[in-house]
Amino acid sequence: MNQKDYLGRDLAEDDFVIFMRQGYRELKLGKIKNFTKTGKPRICWQTKWGEQTLLQDGYQVVKVDGPDLTFFLLNKQDQQ
């Protein structure tokens, strides 16, 4: 079963996605680590405590790539 993001685009392992972290009202950038047997993407991201993971449905994330991803990563590095 192919999962699709909120905008209807196919999701694959190693795709970068924007998602809402559980318990918070902020958007985060993560990477799809793998998929469960039922097809849910397992998203991982780094924190100061190490790697965190979260299972989401595909429609709960937005895939980012190309210029949008590059801009975000460069902008974030300037803030560190």
* Sign, Cα dihedral of 47, 48, 51, 54: negative
Q: What is the pTM of this model?
A: 0.83
Please give the span between the terminal C-alpha atoms of the chain, in angstroms, as a whole number. Answer: 39
Q: In this model, does residue 80 exceed pLDDT 70?
A: no
Tens of pLDDT, residue by residue over 12-52, are 999 999 999 877 788 889 999 999 999 999 999 988 889 99
Q: What's the pLDDT at 79?
A: 47
C-alpha separations of 35 from 30, 32, 56, 69 in Å: 14, 8, 10, 22
- 19 neighbors 54 (Cβ within 8 angstroms): yes
